[in-house]
Amino acid sequence: MALPHYDFSFPDGGPATVERVLAYARRAEAVGFDSVWVSDHLFLDLGRYGGPDERYGTPEALSTLAVLAAGTERVGLGALVLCAPFRPAPVTALAAAGIHEVSGGRLDLGLGAGWYEAEFRAAGLQYGSAGERLAHLRTYVGTVRSALEHGAARAPEGDPPRWSGPAKDRPGVWVGGKGGPKVARIVAEHADGWNVVWRMTPEDYGARLHVLRGACDDAGRDPDTVRLSIGLYTLLGTDDADLAKRFEAMRAWAPGGVLDGTTLGSFADGALAGTPEQLAERIERFEALGVEEIILGFGALPFSLPDDEQLDLARDLLPLVRR
């Protein structure tokens, strides 16, 4: 489950606090989710999603994960994804190691290049081109992984070593990105796994896997050693009529009118929308491509939950997927 953690994220429209995020993490754990995830922004506006440029607040990602580590018992924890330019690589590795320890080894660490220019400016950071940000990410991922494996005090300096196999007792290191050649190269050379969000058909995913496999061949890595996960917008209903009703309710809830003019059919394209049985069939198609984890992003905005009853319906979905 992608946890709600922005000021727009919650069913009641209330502000985001660490306490509220923890409450939903505990609910997800009780429902039976395998893992819960947070994203990493200083703030977020909805211009990218067809809404206004108003900025919405959020708790900081690593400190939130630390609270979740101490406040949950079983559920896995993840960052989807930390923005590499926000923190020096050794700082990220040290924080992640501490969270991993407190949680009893439940952390997966996603890393990304960053895409939201407004928060770079607000933080006094140079945004740079996409190529520059990806070049920085390539070194960053390898450095974080090396520091997690050896400890920040003993990690070798200079160019980080390439991935040589999963290490024990450290978080998995993931790269988030759409799966182009540059992202695929970073994954193949330095990461444990690759994640993509929030809309994807199995057919499109298969084409991007072809790019990843080519990058693994170039890096001398077995592509079957790359872990795969996908985050998808999700809307559950008990039947077609209930799904349509819930979509209309979600459209009315959506802040800034981001779903105005959107139909259920267009929302469902590349998303997970349907009954638990229908979603299980869709997920099985991704599983056949090697995906080990589907991250449910409820609604049509990242890390939101327009309707608490989606968790009750997810309780019916999980046994179908595991079966």
Model pLDDT, residue 156: 82
In a domain, 10, yes or no: no
> 218 in helix, strand or coil?
helix
pLDDT for the residue numbered 167:
80
In a domain, 195, yes or no: yes
Taking CA atoms, 114 is separated from 3, 54, 177, in Å, by 19, 19, 10
Q: What is the model's pLDDT at position 29? A: 98
CATH of the domain at 272: 3.20.20.30
Q: How far is CA 251 from the centre of its chain?
A: 23
The tens digit of pLDDT for each residue in 210-237 reads: 999 999 999 999 999 999 999 999 999 9
pLDDT of residue 323: 77
Residue 230 maps to a domain: yes
pLDDT at 154: 81
- 207 in a domain, yes or no? yes
**Domain span at residue 38?**
18-322
Burial of 265 (0-12, 13-18, 19+ CB in 10 A): exposed
Total domains, the chain: 1
In this structure, is residue 313 part of a structural domain? yes
Judge whether 2 lies within some domain. Answer: no
- Residue 9 within any structural domain of the chain: no
Is there a domain that residue 244 lies in? yes
How far is it, in rounded angstroms, from Cα 277 to Cα 282? 9
Query: Which segments in the chain show pLDDT lower than 50?
Result: none
